[in-house]
Amino acid sequence: MGEKPVIGVTTGFAKRNEFSQGPYVHQDYEQSLFLTGAVPVLLPVAPDDLTGRYLSLCDGFIFSGGGDVDPRFYGEAPSPFIEPFDAERDRFEITLLKKAVAAGKPVLCICRGLQVLNVAYGGTLIQDLAAEWKQPILHDQKIPRVQTSHSVRLLGDSRLCRLFDGKTSIYVNSLHHQAIKALAPGFRAVAYAPDGVIEAVESDTHSRVFGVQWHPESLTAGGDPLMRRLFQTFVTACGLSDEKVR
């Protein structure tokens, strides 16, 4: 295929004041897709009946970072430590995600996106690591997002490890306070932080569906060659037909 793949990127909502508000996603998502040969399309939260149009428009999807997931979607009451959440965004992304996976589209879930993936398929979340996790490391780094802050252990038989030339330990950035608690059926945890927090998952049945807890888009934009390879592999998959993948 000679044309660059079109990749939809989900967005949150930002409001500076009454005169400046609307869909928002960090610019590193677009920058990393430009660098790896894709055409990014930002997807605002939309009614369910428009998700099919998004599906036909895009060759693949990135479910981006953002705020907390409404705990009602995984059967819990809100913790006193939960941060603002947007149930409308959660509902939209869960619907779009399930349709994209069912259609065989490549899906990359990043940070909040990984949490949405887990919740969409029956998993649960730690609502606040500092309050609920035993001896957590710092997961909400205080340095720029283009810099790494902690190590991650990769399982040697994972697709992610093979992508990174067999490396079983890498350094990543970290900008979250929630994480996977109970892993959804049909997924496998393939990377862990030093404190045991799940940092990446792969689907048991869909080779082009995976998620990471860190922010590879910012590391890619900052020049990290391994994270650029992750993005490049995803973009390449988005340019392949289902027949070629099989």
- Under 8 Å CB-to-CB from 243, ≥6 apart: which residues? none
The catalytic residue among 26, 139, 150, 215 is 215
For residue 215, indicate whether it is catalytic: yes
The catalytic residue among 58, 109, 111, 238 is 111
For residue 177, indicate whether it is catalytic: no
- The letter for the amino acid at 186 is G
For residue 111, indicate whether it is catalytic: yes
Place of tokens 């283009």: 146
The catalytic residue among 30, 109, 217, 238 is 217
Kindly list the catalytic residues: 111, 215, 217
